[in-house]
A and B are shown apart, each in its own frame.
Chain A
Amino acid sequence: MLVLLGIAVVVFGFLVRANPLLVVMSAAIVTGLAAAWTPAADLQTMWQAGVDTLALFGKAFNDSRFISLVWLVLIAIGLLERCGLQERARMVIAKIPAATAAGVMWVYFVMRQILSALGLTSLGGHAQMVRPLVAPMAEGAAEAKHGPLPDRERYLIRSHAAAADNIGLFFGEDIFIAIGSILLMVGFLEQNGISVSPLQLSVWAIPTAIAAFLIHSLRLWLLDRHLKRTLGAVPAEAPQ
């Protein structure tokens, strides 16, 4: 039962917002010490247990290096950004007629999910796309339709813009064969003596991706209905 202390360390670490790498390291050492502890254990035994745990962690760290190979992709993506890839993505979005607030967010959500499934997870994100682009465009579309927005609806739209990014990313990225979570699963299964290829795992992300697409599309459709009902049509413009 004592080995569960490691999990307590993880939860506590995240609660106090400590650096996650340090939290992981501490949890590993606490777990190793807890596994070795008996009422009779002396200091030297515990020291040895700590050293053994560090070595075990080091071996696993070395064996898991393939997980971090994925970052080599950044070289190509960075080079493309230098040549205007993000700007081009913005131009493509901006050309789509912004009919409604939820419509704008839906288009972004679909693009985010598809691009993530192709491994292009860096083409999006809260700082790069949601704040500068998606949220303003969605708010703009709602204002054009319904007139000035009350705070409540403005913040509701902004929250949904962030949600569209997260949901598109989470339920798209696992379809790509070389994303961190897929490689983590391959590594975990290998340590348990089960050999699977990343492709085997990623195809089983597709059904959930389709479900996420359907559910969130419905939610965005309902959001537009909600906005229409609470805000009504744009007040007729005063005659010049």
Chain B
Amino acid sequence: MITLTHLYILAGLFFAAVAVFSAIDPSNPKRFRTAVFWGLLAISFLFGSLIGDLANGLLALGLAVLATWGLGQGKARTTSTDERRASAEKRGNLLFLPALIIPAIALLGTLAAQNTPIGAALMEQKNATLISLILGVVIALAVIMIWLKPPLISPLQEGRRLIDAVGWAAILPQMLASLGAVFLAAGVGDQVGKLFADYIPLDSRLAAVAAYCIGMALFTIFMGNAFAAFPVMTAAVGLPIIVMQFGGDPATVCAIGMLAGFCGTLMTPMAANFNVVPANLLELPDRKAALNGVIRAQIPTALPLLAVNIVLMLVLAFPK
């Protein structure tokens, strides 16, 4: 049976390969820091469950310090634009097929694990989606290797090229989830919830849902990231009031609440990579303004969509 542990080993080996390739890549001006960063992540994936909590905490601290110090980007060996164009001409739209294998297997595998005995025997039920996703990646890789016959080392080099481009941001979601755990233990959500309860009457479904959705959007505007707002607002209003008190469905409440937060992302200069980076790339004259052209273009979509999310949550989260 395939479990998460197997996937962690796979990911650990990938990150270890990225570390080794980074270390021996002279075109990366900060190659050793970069190698240590991915190496630490490899240790976390391979041995994280053996080294104890404090060591894991120190490891996370190390990753944060290295990221602040600055990672570099190497030059993985890859094809030229001309070669790619020629390949695209030659293979046509068939090139999209391996890319579509991944979501298809992820979906089919999830359904198979839940509904067929073979699927249930093959993988851990609880993590069927992730296991199927990685299974999809492995199958897509096999198809590409057999069909297009790239050099054997190229999957790791291409993977490094892309993970290098993502950089330290790759572990931001995992770090934010961990921050959520610390917030939970310290009762941050309770405190924010108390603030809400003291100043806003949450005595009806509408008031609670509106406070949660608008709160998600506002918090995201301040924090620049819906991922950071989600654990706080959901622990403060989403779970205790909408789910526990009014009987809302937790999956629906969370899914729509997160999207309400995304409406906030569209309206804030704090979400730099979505709203400030493109303004720079497109050389907008007002790129340094708090409300630059990109944000102004997005607000008229974000506000009605926020209202729609409130209505959707009211209608969909309370089946009966």
A-side residues, CB < 8 A to B, are: 1, 3-4, 6-7, 10-11, 14-15, 17-22, 24-25, 27-28, 31-32, 34-35, 51, 53-88, 91-92, 118-120, 122-123, 126-127, 130-131, 135, 151, 155-156, 158-163, 165-167, 170-171, 174, 176-178, 180-181, 183-185, 187-189, 191-192, 194-202, 204-205, 207-208, 211-212, 215-216, 219
Contact = CB atoms under 8 A, between A and B. Distances in A.
Contacts of A76: 98-99, 102, 137, 140-141, 144, 155
A171 B141 CA distance: 28
A215 B176 CA distance: 31
B256 A208 contact: yes
Interface string B197-228: 00000000000000000000000001111111
B279 A208 contact: no
17 contacts: A10-B228, A20-B225, A25-B64, A31-B188, A56-B53, A57-B182, A64-B181, A80-B144, A162-B297, A167-B266, A167-B298, A167-B301, A177-B129, A183-B173, A201-B255, A211-B305, A215-B308
Interface in B236-263: 239, 250-252, 254-256, 258-259, 262
A92 to B, nearest CB: 7
Nearest to A119: B103
Contacts of B301: 163, 167, 212, 215-216, 219
B121 interface: no
B2 interface: no
Given A58-B58, A82-B150, A191-B181, A88 B93 contact: yes
Contacts of B191: 1, 3-4
Given A76-B140, A83-B91, A86-B84, A207 B182 contact: no
Query: Which of under 10, 10 to 19, 20 to 34, or 35 or more describes the interface residues of B?
Result: 35 or more
B27 interface: no
B308 A211 contact: yes
B83 to A, nearest CB: 8
Interface in B276-297: 277-279, 281-282, 284-286, 292-294, 296-297
A24 B231 CA distance: 13
A188 B272 contact: no
Nearest to A128: B165
Nearest to A169: B274
Nearest to B158: A78
B99 A6 contact: no
Nearest to B126: A195
Given A127-B281, A174-B259, A91 B239 contact: no
From B93, B182, B183, B275, residue with most partner A Cβ within 10 Å = B182
B68 to A, nearest CB: 4
B16 interface: no
A16 B230 CA distance: 22
A60 B155 contact: no
Contacts of B293: 155-156, 158-159
A25 B4 contact: no
Contact of B312 (A20, A31, A158, A208): A208
B226 A55 contact: no
B294 A162 contact: yes
Nearest to A26: B64
Given A21-B67, A58-B58, A159-B284, A79 B154 contact: yes
Contact of A61 (B56, B68, B88, B91): B56
B117 interface: no
A122 to B, nearest CB: 7
B122 interface: no
Contacts of A212: 301, 305
B174 to A, nearest CB: 5
A208 B159 contact: no
B214 to A, nearest CB: 15
Nearest to A3: B186
B179 A28 contact: yes
Contacts of A3: 183, 186-188, 191
Given A159-B284, A183-B173, A201-B254, 15 more contacts: A19-B68, A21-B175, A57-B181, A58-B52, A60-B178, A74-B158, A84-B87, A162-B281, A171-B305, A178-B129, A188-B254, A191-B181, A205-B255, A208-B308, A212-B301
Nearest to A214: B308
Contact of A163 (B88, B239, B297): B297
B221 to A, nearest CB: 10
Which of B60, B79, B107, B286 has the most chain A CB atoms closer than 10 A to its own CB? Answer: B60
Contacts of A159: 279, 282, 284, 292-294, 296-297
B255 A204 contact: yes
Interface in B100-128: 100, 102-103, 106-107, 110, 126-128
